[in-house]
Chain A
Amino acid sequence: GAVVSQHPSWVICKSGTSVKIECRSLDFQATTMFWYRQFPKQSLMLMATSNEGSKATYEQGVEKDKFLINHASLTLSTLTVTSAHPEDSSFYICSASVTSGSETQYFGPGTRLLVL
């Protein structure tokens, strides 16, 4: 149980295009979903927290107009990187939890984004 899928697993795009990443909880309803980013040799850094049906909460330094998050249902959250630039190249990974507390988060396998 507690499986989270993420699609696509990798994407290469041209600078200036937008990229959408989907995160789905397959066998449970996720009240809260989280989006992280990981640069090489660094730890997972939280970008934003989203609760179903409400606006996402962004961490300091993360541009909400650039990283659009939609959590339209209890099983799906999407992250759209708008007008991607090479510095947005990174590993993006989502997680989901049943509540918004500190219980275990269940992770997707991640998406590697390369912006040329």
Chain B
Amino acid sequence: ILNVEQSPQSLHVQEGDSTNFTCSFPSSNFYALHWYRWETAKSPEALFVMTLNGDEKKKGRISATLNTKEGYSYLYIKGSQPEDSATYLCAFTRGNQFYFGTGTSLTVIP
């Protein structure tokens, strides 16, 4: 079983604050790194798929970076809004298998 770690486990921020969290994964035999947003009682929503070292992806106020050599990815949220409250999951893939972290639970306080 591959170890994918996410930190922090949970996070509370004020509306308007920017925030970031980390996904750490094995740096060997890397294939892709996925980020998902998971709101309560809904399906996890795919945010980004990143495959190349140095990749940066952006979707609105959310962006992500990837460092495959050291085995980490950062997810950034600029100007957090209450609707950003969710659990953010990362998944490392090797071959066709996904290995998930336990997620970072973000609560944005109005």
* Chain A residues proximal to chain B, CB less than 8 Å: 2-4, 9, 32, 34, 36, 41-46, 49, 93, 100-110
Contacts and interface: CB of A to CB of B under 8 A. Distances in A.
Contacts of B34: 104-105
Contacts of B43: 3-4, 106-110
B46 interface: yes
B22 to A, nearest CB: 15
A49 B96 CA distance: 10
B96 A43 contact: no
A25 to B, nearest CB: 12
Contacts of A43: 4, 99-103
Interface residues of B, number: 22
8 contacts: A2-B46, A34-B98, A43-B4, A43-B103, A44-B98, A46-B98, A49-B96, A105-B34
B44 interface: yes
A42 B102 contact: yes
Contacts of B31: 102
Given A4-B43, A43-B4, A105 B100 contact: no
A46 B97 contact: yes
